[in-house]
């Protein structure tokens, strides 16, 4: 499951990945970002933070990460340059996050793999919008 919240008038999207995670959840998220930008809900040059919490299972392969990156760098180009911080602490999550980071290098996407919310918000250059929730 993927839940998201928009902060700072569309300049920050924070997404929580939990439960049973399927590749289609993340693909749907990328399309949501594209559509949300097209209607002005998410602003050009936004920042994004993705974190994993309470995972039951993750059905995501390296091929899925390639597909997500292709959609994001192809169809999502109209969003312009934006930054994504991924909080990953488990070895498998870190491997996939680093793969996405390496694939994003060929586009206007900046991706950083972080270990804490503090590190992620610092890298994104924004304040924590809810320090009670994101700690």
Let me know: does 53 contact 90? Beta carbons within 8 Å: no
**The CATH number of the domain covering residues in 2-124:** 3.30.750.24
User: What are the structural domain ranges in the chain?
Assistant: 2-124
The model's pTM is 0.89
Instruction: pLDDT tens for the chain, 135 residues: list them.
Output: 999 999 999 999 999 999 998 989 989 998 998 899 889 999 988 999 999 888 888 888 888 888 888 887 776 666 667 889 999 888 767 777 877 787 777 676 788 999 999 999 999 999 999 999 999
Let me know: does 20 contact 57? Beta carbons within 8 Å: yes
* Nearest CA-CA partner of 78 in 109, 103, 104: 109
What is the sign of the dihedral through the CA atoms of 33, 34, 36 and 42? positive
DSSP string, 67-124: HHHHHHHHGGGGG-SEEEEEE--SHHHHHHHHHHHHHHTTTTEEEEEESSHHHHHHHH
């Amino acid at each position: 499951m993927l839940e998201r919240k928009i902060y700072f008038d569309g300049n920050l999207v924070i997404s929580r990945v939990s439960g049973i995670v399927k590749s289609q959840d993340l693909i749907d998220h990328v399309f949501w970002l594209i559509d949300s930008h097209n209607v002005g809900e998410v602003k050009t040059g936004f920042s994004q933070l993705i974190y994993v919490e309470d995972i039951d299972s993750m059905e995501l392969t390296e091929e899925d990460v390639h597909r997500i990156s292709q959609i994001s760098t192809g169809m999502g180009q109209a969003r312009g340059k934006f930054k994504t911080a991924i909080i990953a602490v488990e070895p498998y999550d870190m491997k996939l996050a680093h793969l996405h980071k390496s694939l994003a290098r060929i586009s206007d996407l900046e991706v950083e793999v972080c270990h804490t919310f503090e590190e992620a918000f610092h890298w994104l250059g924004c304040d924590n919008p809810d320090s009670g929730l994101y700690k």
